[in-house]
Amino acid sequence: MRRSSIPIQTLLLRVFLPAVAVVAIGLGLLTYSRLYDTILDGFDRKLITTSALTGALIDGRDHDRLIAIARTEPKTDEAEHSAEYLRAVLPMRRIREQLDLTYLYTQILGGKKDIIYVLDGTMGDEHSPIGSEDDLPPATLAGIRRSERVGSIHLSPIEFQEQWGLLKTAAAPVRSANGRIVATAGADVDVSLIRVATQNALFASVVIGMASLLACTLIILVIVRRLAQPLDRLRQEALRIAGGDHDPIRQFPAPRDIATLQRALAESTSEMTGRLADRRDAAKASAIEAGIAMLDFELAKMAGRTAHLRFTGAYADETDALLRRVAASRLAERIATGVITLDEPILPLAKGERATVALADGRIVTIGKGA
């Protein structure tokens, strides 16, 4: 069994609301993607700028002496209290704190592991003493070597370091007193900081998506309401007309395009109603003509049934003449069979008409004549 018709407003909402949800989700994902890229780009710029600035601010002569101490694998932190170390590390500590970096340090290649730390702006348990060694991921190690070789700044992706966890690193060249690149200044940021910024971006994306979803839904509801009600009203009028009710369309407020359809339907209905009325009139006239023709045919048969009647005068096939002839024929039958007797004409006829009946005994009886 066919389902009943669904209101236009419901159909429009079924189409538009999923589309709005898809658009809102798409906007949220796009916003999150753009914010995430912006966050990573901001961290990249911060790491590159900080490492390059740190490498440029370090005094080459002080750093050369500290490099020499670091290579001797010192057993105490005496070097870290020297004037050379403090002049270099104090600005690094301020930079690290102001920029909210995880680590800021200088390093040289060599030793028993991949690199040897010289300066470290970190304090506390995560401080790397001068001369301590560390292993690096292969990609980062290759980038530091390239930085020392060509003087470029290496920027790593987010990668795992066994001792420090997930980090994003930048390394810029550090020059000696004679201008030769002998070390790199590294700046690291822990992935947790990136995650916090990313979570904020995700929250902002969700808020933007929900706001856009709500705004679009309200707009769609208003649009659907303005469109659906006139369309549904127009549909009802069309169904009414299709059902045979040809009364004029009752005007109702509607947007311009729907109002145009409303006028077109009204004009079409008026034209159709006129054609139907003409057809009804024509059918009625045809029926009347057919009825008259049938009546004339029957009257003609009735008028010709008796042989006793003699009807003369201006006889025609008109209905009135046929009626007079039928009346004369019926009266002639009754007189001929003796049902009635007639002394004088009693049937009024038209001018010039005369009706007589021939009796069995040869007499001729006049039953009607015109004036």
Q: Which residues contact 321 (CB under 8 A, 6 or more apart)?
A: 314, 315, 350
Taking the C-alpha atoms of residue 174 and residue 183, their distance in angstroms, rounded to an integer, is: 5
Tokens encoding 201: 């971006």
Distance CA 115, CA 112 (A): 8
Check residue 7 and give its pLDDT: 64
The Cα-based distances of 330 to 308, 321, 335, 352 in angstroms read: 10, 14, 9, 20
3-class DSSP assignment, residue 359: coil
pLDDT tens per residue across all 371 residues of the chain: 344 456 666 766 776 777 777 777 777 777 777 777 887 888 899 999 999 999 999 999 999 999 999 999 888 889 999 999 999 999 999 999 999 899 999 999 988 999 999 999 999 888 999 999 999 989 999 999 999 999 999 999 888 777 787 888 999 999 999 999 999 999 998 877 667 777 776 777 677 777 777 877 787 777 777 766 676 666 676 676 666 666 666 665 655 666 676 666 666 776 666 676 677 777 777 766 666 566 555 555 555 556 677 777 755 556 677 777 777 777 777 777 777 777 777 778 877 788 888 787 778 888 777 76
- For residue 47, give the amino acid letter: L
Whole-angstrom distance, CA of residue 81 vs CA of residue 90: 11
What pLDDT, on the 0 to 100 scale, is given for residue 3?
Answer: 47
pLDDT for 173 equals 96
Could you give the CA distance from residue 250 to residue 240 in angstroms, rounded to a whole number?
11
Give the chain's domains with CATH numbers: 8-199 (3.30.450.20), 304-370 (no CATH)
- At 56 the pLDDT is 93
